Amino acid sequence: MRQILQIAAALVMTSSLAVSADQSESVTGQALLLRAAPGPNGPQIQVDVVDRSKLNKSLFVDMAGLRLWTDTTESRQRVRNLAANPSSALSVTEMVARQLMASGVEPDVIPVHGDEGQEAGTEGMILLSGGEFTRPGKYYDSSGGGLTILDDGTAQKSSGATYRVRVSPFHIDPFKVTNEDYCRFLNDGNAGYATPWNTRISRAPLGRNRGKFAPADNSLARHPVVLVNWYQAKGYAAWVGKRLPTEAEWEFAAGGKESRTYPWGNEPPDDTRLDFPIKYKHPVPVDWFPAGATPDGVFQMAGNSAEWCADYYDSASYQKAPGDGVVINPTGAAQAYQPNTWYKYRVMFKG
């Protein structure tokens, strides 16, 4: 039986992963190399595509789930210094993302350590029996909401044909991954998966947990973890022995065989089902709004925070109805890199 989970994520880096999260290197012969030279206002970073055989495997910096290769010990130290500062760390990942968009060469990921997360197995998960549903034809991806640029330069949300999809049985977590959950992952040997600019999670300065990752405030423990990129989401999933849902599985969990308009049914949203109209300027605990859960008991598939899916996105994989009837267990595009489109690299997210 396949196991999947929800993980909340805000968009930090538009990128995706072609290999499983327990592998530290891409399967391609090329890699991204950071060169950091001194500059008048701080280090100047250049991200190049190089042959993998030219990498020095001792020269790397781990940050936000990525293993960033450098060319010299001086470059490594400069990148480490940048990674220690939240704003400059974000600028480094944005430069890596731009090279990904330009070349299609993906950054490597950090090997996932520890087995504490796999102790629970399927305990607490919800078993969905699978079945058929009508794909709604509305798509959201890492371009910032599933946008398509038209010939006149304007943007519209991506949409496509509605058609039947069948998914096999699977388990799904009833709640989004929390800050508390993610801290357990970080503290089990995965510190490189921390998000430097996420102020909701930090290292405890005092007490018996000094130096360990913890929610910045106890009230945030049951809030969904946000500001994690796709690599981080896949890394957490590997740590708990699960994976991200496909877009089709997510849609089935949210809408069921009856293709509900909303996770709870077809009734319009109100403040008993989710934060609507918006009252809170931040995410709320993952177990709030039980009236907005699906009939199977999966919470917050509408509202609170977005969730990464496993699929690469391209228009052909989602927008055109199949010619031979029902699509069975679709998994999206074979690759995310689309050099002839306005947004050249996309993965799916929902919620």
Dihedral angle sign, alpha carbons of residues 302, 304, 310, 313: positive
Query: What is the pLDDT at residue 107?
Result: 94
How far, in Å, are 68, 76, 79, 128 from residue 82 at the CA level?
A: 12, 10, 5, 45
Query: What is the pLDDT at residue 4?
Result: 55
Query: What is the pLDDT at residue 12?
Result: 23
Q: pLDDT tens digit string along 34-86?
A: 999 998 888 899 999 999 999 999 999 999 999 999 999 999 999 999 999 99
Nearest CA to 257 out of 147, 131, 171 is that of: 131
Mean pLDDT, contiguous 10-residue spans, the chain (351 residues): 51 25 55 93 92 96 97 96 94 94 94 92 92 85 70 74 90 95 97 95 87 94 95 95 93 94 95 93 95 97 92 80 85 86 83 76
> Do 298 and 262 meet the contact criterion of CB atoms below 8 Å apart?
no
The token pair that represents 300 in the structure block: 């917050």
Distance between CA atoms of residues 76 and 37, nearest Å: 10
Peptide bond into 277 cis (omega under 30): yes
Query: What is the pLDDT at residue 28?
Result: 67
How far, in Å, are 69, 124, 253, 256, 296 from residue 133 at the CA level?
A: 44, 25, 10, 7, 16
Query: What is the pLDDT at residue 11?
Result: 25
Q: What is the pTM of this model?
A: 0.90
Q: pLDDT tens digit string along 285-301?
A: 999 999 999 999 999 99
Distance between CA atoms of residues 63 and 217, nearest Å: 23
Q: How many residues are recorded in the chain? A: 351
> Do 313 and 332 meet the contact criterion of CB atoms below 8 Å apart?
yes
Query: What is the pLDDT at residue 24?
Result: 42
Q: What is the DSSP letter of 291?
A: G
User: What is the phi/psi pair of residue 4, to 5°?
Assistant: -135, 170
Domains of the chain by start residue, with CATH: 1-11+117-351 (3.90.1580.10), 30-109 (no CATH)
Question: Bridge partners of 269?
Answer: none
Distance between CA atoms of residues 185 and 182, nearest Å: 5
Nearest CA to 15 out of 138, 141, 146 is that of: 141
